[in-house]
């Protein structure tokens, strides 16, 4: 997913999606484009922390927060 609105649409239509958020508080794609095309200015690509759990709950979704290794986290996520 690219935009958060897609998540609310998936919840509205009860689509059986699993969304995995890898959070680094940076707009990575925009940062990459700035580095490649503008000579690395990195302007406005960092943002304040977002409460993804709160967002998921407010849209009617379910949020699981895992602080495990990637392999065990993915295995548990897909088992649900």
Task: Name the 3-class secondary structure at 41.
Answer: coil
- Please return the burial class of 44, using the count of CB atoms within 10 Å of its CB with bins 0-12, 13-18 and 19+: exposed
Rounded to an integer, what distance in angstroms lies between the CA atom of residue 10 and that of residue 72?
A: 25
Span 6-30, average pLDDT: 83
Task: Name the 3-class secondary structure at 46.
Answer: strand
Split at pLDDT 50, 70, 90, the class of 75 is confident
Express each pLDDT in 22-71 by its tens digit: 777 777 788 888 888 888 777 787 877 788 888 888 988 877 776 666 67
Domain limits, the chain: 26-79
């Amino acid at each position: 997913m690219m935009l958060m609105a897609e998540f609310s649409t998936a919840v509205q239509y009860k689509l059986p999606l699993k969304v995995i958020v890898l959070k680094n508080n940076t707009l990575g794609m925009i940062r990459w484009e700035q580095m490649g095309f503008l000579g690395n200015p990195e302007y406005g690509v960092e943002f304040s922390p977002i409460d993804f759990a709160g967002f998921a709950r407010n849209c009617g979704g379910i949020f699981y927060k895992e602080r495990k290794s990637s392999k065990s986290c993915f295995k548990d996520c897909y088992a649900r």
